[in-house]
Amino acid sequence: MSENQEFKVTDSRANARDADMAGTCREGQGKPLGKDEPCYPPVAFSTFLLSLAASAMVQLGESPEPETGSYMQNLPLAKHTIDILAMLQCKTRANATDEEAKLLADLLCQLRLSYVKKTG
């Protein structure tokens, strides 16, 4: 390339941020909640269930807290979260897809077994 030739650099990050601010993200991603926030996964029942189950795992002391990396145990709160998942199972029985119903049943089974092991 000679010294007299010009070249143009396009920062694709700027275009992605503009798209985010317009309320659209790349395909397969959810919408941003604010100006400087990343795109979140699309809102789905299965994502919600997995989020609750992850919280219960932290409360059971099976997973570390995301912010501190330390393990804590709060069994009454874990039981409450498991009960919320059980209530969702009852309330969504007629409307959940087969995949969602299986996911919820599997999560409840795993969480209940972990809770029983912790409480004796």
Per-residue confidence of the chain (120 residues) as pLDDT tens digits? 555 666 565 555 544 444 444 444 554 555 555 667 777 777 899 999 999 999 999 999 999 999 999 999 999 999 999 999 999 999 999 999 999 999 999 999 999 999 999 998
What are the domain boundaries of the chain? 1-42, 45-119
Q: Coil, strand, or helix at residue 17?
A: helix
Position 18 scores a pLDDT of 46
58-66: Cβ within 8 A, 24+ apart: 60/111, 60/114, 60/115, 60/118, 61/118, 62/114
**The pair of three-digit structure tokens given for residue 26, joined into one six-digit string:** 């790349």
Q: How many CB atoms lie within 10 A of CB 32?
A: 19
* Chain centroid, CA 23 distance in Å: 20
Position 17 scores a pLDDT of 45
- Model-level pTM? 0.69
Position 37 scores a pLDDT of 72
